[in-house]
Structure 1
Amino acid sequence: MPSKYKILIVDDEPLNVELLSVYLGDTYDIVTSYNGADALKKVQKECPDLILLDVMMPDMNGYDVCRTIRDEFKMDFIPIIMVTALTGRADHQKGIEAGADEFLKKPIGKFELDKKITSLLRIKEQHDSLLTEKNKAYYYLDYVGVLVAVLDIDYKITHINKKGSDFLGYTFEKLIGREWVESFIPKDSVNAIRKHYDGLASGMLEPYGYCEFPVIISNGEERLFRWYDSPLFDDSGNTTGILISGEDITEIKKAEKQLQEYAIQLERSNDLKDLFTDVMRHDLLNPAGLIKSFVELLVEQESDDYKKSLLGNVNEATEKLIAMIDDAAHLAKLESVDDISFVKINVCSMISDTVDGLMHQVEDKDMDIKVCLNGGCYAVANPMIERVFVNLLSNSIKYSPKGSTVTINVVDMGDKWKISFIDQGDGVPNASKASVFERFKRLHKEDIRGTGVGLAIVKRIMDLHKEIIAVDDNPEGQGSVFWLTLKKDA
């Protein structure tokens, strides 16, 4: 990775270029351009990591520049932020169609600018990492993406995202108003799907429950989708429709079969399964991350409460999808690792950073974090140990009641440190203590967000350290004590 990312700033107003350069110059390498034609030359010559592109420019506007970069230069993964005083939906749609990733309204605030750039560069970094890891299993996956649509109470389409339109092979206008089940579900699945949607609308089925069923696209082909659906409600609690969110898994299913056959021949089924999971993670995270970014942008610009509610449902489903992909893939990668490197770490400093990073969760539940540190405590560990601290503290916060206290103790045990996370939640029954670190085990599912692999990740990291992770009852009352050991730095 470069020491500094390179950002191209394009604006016909020199003062705007100078202001953005001042905002970003300390953090990024800056390249400037004052018209569209010159900007295209700079893109090819400098290969920037991100482009800040003014819309209203003479001769060649920002839309044309963006479209050229995407269509002629075939540079799909350079993040482009359009900087504009135009705020209409049609202007934003035009920008999206041209290939823009984000929008910023003039005048630009430094905080919002930093937030957008950081988010898009993180997505670009994930993509760049994927390019170095592609392998034979990648060719089994031709296309992966997410369809999001809103159905009314009669299951007619009232809204669908561009990815969904592309999947189905119809324009947005031709999809709106069509009855979803009759138009796109194979006849032998119609009754089952209507029963599924009726169950969601009546409250008989839990929202976002996983299911698989096919859809028929414009060329008559059936494609198998994995769905996470949820009912939509008005302010009075009445059901107004169904939010459907699905990913095309047709090729994945074919790939699974091919990978299984290939694994049997090579007697390496576990390795290939991990490889498949890793490729799938990267291909799914990019479109899911883009959906999340666009939804957040729409929420900021939307004033209608009902539409905000719909967007909130989309965002919640996308966040859950991203978390599931990331956690499952991270665990799979950890399970494929046998040896890790060790460095000297400051346990106290790392714990303090962890507490600071989760303080918003603490404040949301009006809780208190009590940290009992033992001066300068240095250990020999891999930097991934920070994820153990984050997962344990996050779990303690999630499963503790409002207004309670979570205590973090670091105790000197001679040649080791014993680090404990003590909560005041419901505790872990004795019968579950042995299985709580297994993947997809979650004792409390009501009103708790999580993927069910967090503690499995913790256990795997501690196994790689050849150290102990365990859970006991809180000796001072209700709750649990999750504790671990780390070897001291000599």
Structure 2
Amino acid sequence: MNQKERSKILIIDNEDRNVEVLESILVSEYDMIRSYSGTEGLQKAIDDEPDLILLDNMITDIAAHEICRTLKNDERTKLIPIVIVTTPDEKDEKIKSLEEGADDFVNKPVSYLEISTRVKALLKIKRLQDKVVKERNQACQYLDVIGSIIIILDKDASVTFANKKACNVLGWKKEDLMGKSWTDLFPEDTKEIQEKELFRILEGKRELPEFHELPLLTRNSDGTTEKKLILWHDVILKDEEGKIIGMIRSGEDNTERTNMEEELTKANEKLRLSHKMKDEFLANINHELRTPLISIKGFSELLYNERLGELNEHQKKTMKTVVHNSERLRHLIESLFYVSDMQNETIKYTFSLIDLKEMLESITAGMLSNIEHKGIEFKKEIAEKLPIVKGNSKYIESVLIHLLDNAIKFTPAGETVSLSASEENGIVHIIVRDAGPGIPNDILSQFCTDIPEDASESDICCTNRDYGLIICKKIISAHKGDIGIDSEIGNGTEIHVRLPAFESEKTINE
């Protein structure tokens, strides 16, 4: 075994002979630390960070059970396993030690098999505990680097968790904020209203708004207070019986956002004069969007894979939805920067063979929770067998996600969204139908015109939805396919995507 991998064992015993017996049994596998008094042993437990402690039950200067109590109440030593070395007639002290946190005991005279077996078992448990602590700390680090304010409140509106961003924005140290009533941060002029609304939410008497902006009192370094507007998004926490046990609040400081918007306004004026500055700006925004998304996705996967503990069926389903939607958000971000790449002629399509049936099934599975949440009906008719197509799977998937997401978004509750896919004369034909408000003719006419290479979003008078459709058209055209739209105001929209099937006799490089 490598020297760095050897576990350390601390022996606390007054008798040289007892220490030597234990050491002779264990020294071949472990690094041994000797201590001949309880006082010295407590100090070495902190300084030397042993992986396990063998404590003689009859240590003289401090009672063994008091040593156990001290070690288990100290954050630095509470996870170190303690084995009491005792004799059968030391029953009372042994019981006291176990009650104060000792993990196991062995009787004198010490048996080689017994002591080595107990030590190995407890060290294995210790390694598992260390792994859990490491993963918990990693999860907290994810929350600290997300870049958003994260606050967790219990049923009584007391703070049970605050990430680094929350502490920085609110001006509190984490240890001072933990356990504090959230209502203490409400300004006096709005406190009564905010407090009433908060407890109505926690009591289940009010539905959560999607976003809401609330003022909070924050502390400055000089001790003064300042009112800031925070844009919040809340998630209710429930137990297995469906009872509300608290909430998660994620927020953004709108005060900072206002300052940022002013800076961006100045930057945009310069960007109109410099194409290079525009590229640098977009690259920076790209980074700012992707960085927190990586943290969100990583932490979500950590929870979904049950690295922080087992999940019940409902929790597992919920986390699966979060993971799916984080991937969906990634596709939306990629689409956002497609236009910039197109204008700069930096788009590179990597073509491969795509199973559209499998792709459509995967996409629709990830959107089922959104469909159920909105209360719309979803009809799917995908042919049993669809031809393989050749294309860039990332961009094709982005197009299909965008079209389905639009259909769900613009269809009112109680109406129907449908998806069909079939093969017609060597062409894969995909149809997405919604029952939304339809697209005006003047907007549709722009869809029929290609985007100029030097155009910007401000040059195209479309909604975000329709500008996205123009991007979709560009992608499908690059795959030698086409998109058609049938839409009428008040009667919904039907989008047709046609892609050529891959001809098996051709090589993949053609």
- TM-score relative to the length of structure 2: 0.49
User: Max radius of gyration: which structure?
Assistant: 2
- For 2:334, the equivalent position in structure 1 comes to 330
Query: 2:424 is matched with which residue?
Result: 411
| Residues 1:469 and 2:510 aligned together | no
User: Which residues of 2 match residues 367-378 of structure 1 at below 5 A?
Assistant: 369-371=381-383
Three-state SS of the structure 2 residue aligned to 1:178 is coil
Call closer, same or farther: CA 1:296–1:372 in 2, change over 3 Å: closer
Note if 1:357 corresponds to 2:369.
Answer: no
Cα-to-partner distance string for 1:95-139 (whole Å, 9 max, x where unaligned): 258x6569xxxxxxxxxxxxxxxxx9xxxxxxxxxxxxxxxxxxx
In the TM superposition, what are the counterparts of 1:427-438 in structure 2 within 5 Å? 427-430=435-438
* Aligned partner of residue 463 in structure 1, secondary structure: helix
Distance 1:146 1:263, change over 3 A: closer
Deviation of the 1:333 alpha carbon: 0.7
**Structure-1 residue corresponding to 2:272:** 267
Q: Which residue of 2 aligns with 1:228?
A: 233
Root-mean-square deviation (CA, aligned residues, Å) is 5.7
Distance 1:358 1:328, change over 3 A: closer
Query: 1:78 is matched with which residue?
Result: none
Task: Summarize deviations over 1:369-408 as a string: whole Å, max 9, x none.
Answer: 52276756557x7862232235446778998999998431
Quick one: structure 1 residues 408 and 304, their matched pair in 2 at CA, closer, same or farther if it must change by over 3 Å?
A: closer
* 1:245 is aligned to 2:246: no
Contact 1:292/1:319 (8 A) holds in 2: yes
* 3-state SS, counterpart of residue 383 of structure 2: strand
Amino acid at match of 1:147: I
* Cα gap change, 1:197 to 1:100, in 2 (>3 Å): closer
CA contact (8 A) 2:167 2:173 kept: yes
Counterpart-to-counterpart distance in 1, 2:190 and 2:390: 60
* 1:194 is aligned to 2:207: no
Following superposition, the deviation at residue 146 of structure 1 comes to: 2.8
Deviation at 1:246, TM superposition (A): 2.2
Residue 460 of structure 1 deviates from its aligned partner by: 1.1
Report the residue type matching 1:387 in the other structure: S
- Structure 1 contact 411–418 (Cα < 8 Å) conserved: yes
Q: Which deviations, in whole Å up to 9, do the C-alpha atoms of 1:310-353 show, x marking residues without a partner?
A: x998x69976994686355333312323244556654xx33134
CA displacement at 1:354 relative to structure 2: 0.7
Could you tell me how far apart the structure 2 residues matched to 1:435 and 1:239 are?
A: 46
Deviations 1:229-274 (A, max 9, x none): 1344566766544331224565454332112112214426976764
Equivalent of residue 254 in structure 1, options 250, 259, 263? 259
Secondary structure, aligned partner of 1:336: helix
Alignment gaps of 5+ in structure 1: 1-9, 14-54, 59-63, 65-83, 103-119, 121-142, 439-451
Paired letter, 1:462: K
SS of the residue 1:301 aligns to: coil
Match of 1:421 among 431, 436, 443: 431
State, as a whole percentage, how many aligned pairs show the same letter: 16
- 2:357, 2:382 within 8 Å by CA — same for their partners in 1? no
Are the structure 2 counterparts of residues 481 and 96 from structure 1 closer, same or farther at C-alpha, using a change threshold of 3 Å? same
Unaligned 5+ residue runs, structure 2? 8-48, 53-75, 77-123, 373-377, 447-462, 503-509
Q: Please state how far the C-alpha of 1:159 moved relative to its aligned partner.
A: 3.9
Which amino acid is 1:384 matched to? Answer: Y
Match of 2:180 in 1: 178
CA distance in 2, matches of 1:259, 1:362: 34
Contact 2:428 2:501 in 1 (8 A): no
- Judged with a 3 Å threshold, the aligned counterparts in structure 2 of structure 1 residues 433 and 354 are, in CA distance, closer, same or farther, namely farther
**What CA distance in whole angstroms lies between the structure 2 residues aligned with 1:367 and 1:460?**
26
In the alignment, the residues of structure 1 paired with residue 329 and residue 360 of structure 2 have an alpha-carbon distance, to the nearest angstrom, of 25
C-alpha separation in 2, matches of 1:312 and 1:370 = 25
Contact 2:415 2:435 in 1 (8 A): no
Aligned: 1:157 with 2:168: no
Distance of 2:272 and 2:160 partners within structure 1: 49
Per-residue CA deviation, residues 420-474 of structure 1 (Å, 9 max, x unaligned), is 2356xx63454679879x9xxxxxxxxxxxxx9788645413235546434448x
Structure 1 pair 95–233 and aligned structure 2 pair: CA distance change class (3 A): closer
C-alpha separation in 1, matches of 2:466 and 2:5: 49
- Whichever residue aligns with residue 371 of structure 1, its letter is A
- Superimposed CA distance per residue, residues 12-56 of structure 1 (whole angstroms, 9 cap, x where no aligned partner): 79xxxxxxxxxxxxxxxxxxxxxxxxxxxxxxxxxxxxxxxxx99
Matched pairs, number: 348
TM-aligned CA deviation for residue 175 of structure 1: 2.8
Amino acid aligned to 2:429: I
Q: Secondary structure at the match of 1:145?
A: coil
- Cα contact 2:419–2:430 (8 A) shared by 1: no
Whether the 8 Å contact between 1:342 and 1:382 is mirrored in structure 2 is: no
> Which of residues 292, 295, 299 in structure 2 aligns to 1:284?
292
* Residue 284 of structure 1: how far off its partner (Å): 1.8
Higher alpha-carbon deviation: 393-402 or 328-337:
393-402
**Aligned equivalents of 2:397, 2:269: Cα separation in 1:** 37
Q: Matched residues in 2 for 1:302 and 1:372: separation?
A: 37
Q: Which of 1 and 2 has higher RCO (CA within 8 Å, sep 6+)?
A: 1
Q: Distance in 2 between matches of 1:154 and 1:203?
A: 15
CA shift at 1:482, angstroms?
2.8
Distance verdict in 2 for CA 1:359–1:312, change over 3 Å = closer
Distance 1:56 1:403 in 2: 64
CA deviation after TM superposition for structure 1 residue 279, in Å: 2.9
| 1:95 maps onto 2:134 in alignment | yes
- The 1:303/1:463 distance shift into structure 2, 3 A limit, reads closer
Q: Could you tell me how far apart the structure 1 residues matched to 2:263 and 2:233 are?
A: 26
Matches within 5 A, 1:95-134: 95=134, 100=138
SS at match of 2:435: coil
Q: Secondary structure at the match of 1:262?
A: helix
**C-alpha distance in 2, partners of 1:160/1:192?**
23
Secondary structure (helix, strand or coil) at the match of 1:229 reads: strand
Q: Which amino acid aligns with 1:145?
A: G
How far apart are the structure 2 equivalents of 1:342 and 1:167?
A: 43
- Flag the 1:179–1:289 CA change in 2: closer, same or farther, 3 A: same
Q: SS where residue 337 of structure 2 aligns?
A: helix
